[in-house]
Structure 1
Amino acid sequence: MARHYSETEVVAILEDLDPARLHAFVAAHVVTPVVTSQGHAFTEADVARLQLLCDLSDIYGLPTDALPMVMSLIDQLNTARGDMRALIQAVASEPDDVRGRIRRSVRQLRIVTLGQG
């Protein structure tokens, strides 16, 4: 079972995070903790996401109201990466002739796409 952290634990783990900032991130829906009878519970992925949010805000000066859009783009990119990994594995498991047809098709599509630009 995945480990969950309380609000107090998360604030203690992340030095750039205080309770007000944590509540602002939750209110902005850029992190979605599990709601329990003891309050919010955060997964390790939530903790990593909160660190990224702090970094985006502090290091890169990203305003809080821009965080939902940026995090949505990051989530989409991560999903696309996972899809691409799965597709590569699926193609790799196909016979040589199928992989060759896919390779030629991809090459042709790239030429067509580049030719239209």
Structure 2
Amino acid sequence: MARHYSETDVVAILDDLDPARLRSFVAAHVVTPVVTPQGHAFTEADVARLQLLCDLSDVYDLPNDVLVMVMSLIDQLNTARGDMRALIQAVATEPDDVRGRIITHVRNVRVIVRD
């Protein structure tokens, strides 16, 4: 079972995070905690995301509306990576001749895209 952290836990874990900043990230919907009777609960992935948000905000001085856009792009890239992994696994199960045709087609498409 996944571990969940309270708001107090998360603020204690992340040096650059205070309660007000945490609430602003939640209000901006760049992190979506689980709502429990005790309050918000954050997963380990949420904690990592909050650390990234703090880093982006501090290093690049990004406001929350820009963080929303950046995190959306990161989420899209992660989804595309997962889709690519699944596609690679699916292609790997195909016979050699099918894999060969796919590789040839991909190379041809890549050449067309570069030109």
TM range (shorter): over 0.9
- Find the counterpart in structure 2 of residue 6 from structure 1: 6
Shift of 1:13: 0.3
Deviation at 1:12, TM superposition (A): 0.3
Q: Distance in 1 between matches of 2:83 and 2:15?
A: 34
Distance 2:110 2:44 in 1: 39
Pairing 1:68-87 to 2, within 5 Å after superposition: 68-87=68-87
Matched, 1:40 2:40: yes
Hey, what's the Cα distance between the residues in 2 that align with 1:59 and 1:114? 34
CA separation in 1, counterparts of 2:70 and 2:91?
31
More off after superposition, 54-63 vs 8-17: 54-63
**Structure 1 residue 69: deviation in Å?**
0.5
2:39 paired with 1:52: no
Q: Deviations over 1:33-52 (max 9, x none)?
A: 00000000000000000000
Determine the structure 2 residue equivalent to 1:15: 15
Asked if residue 91 in structure 1 is aligned to residue 91 in structure 2, the reply is yes
- Paired-residue identity, %: 82
Unaligned runs of 5+ in 1: none
Output one character per residue of 1:24-65: Cα deviation in whole Å (capped at 9) or x when no partner: 000000000000000000000000000000000012222222
Q: TM-score, with normalisation over the residues of structure 2?
A: 0.96
1:35 aligns to what SS in structure 2? strand
**Structure 2 residue ranges without an equivalent (≥5):** none
Aligned residue pairs: how many? 115
Alignment-mate amino acid for residue 50 of structure 1: L
Q: Distance in 2 between matches of 1:72 and 1:8?
A: 26
User: CA RMSD of the aligned region, Å?
Assistant: 0.9
For residue 90 of structure 1, report the CA deviation from its aligned partner. 1.1
How far apart in 2 are the matches of 1:40 and 1:17? 15
Q: Quote the Cα distance in structure 2 between the aligned partners of 1:43 and 1:86.
A: 25
TM-superposed CA distance for 1:113, in Å, is 2.0
Aligned counterparts of 2:32 and 2:106: Cα–Cα separation in 1: 38
Tell me the CA shift for residue 87 of structure 1: 0.8
CA distance in 2, matches of 1:50, 1:114: 37
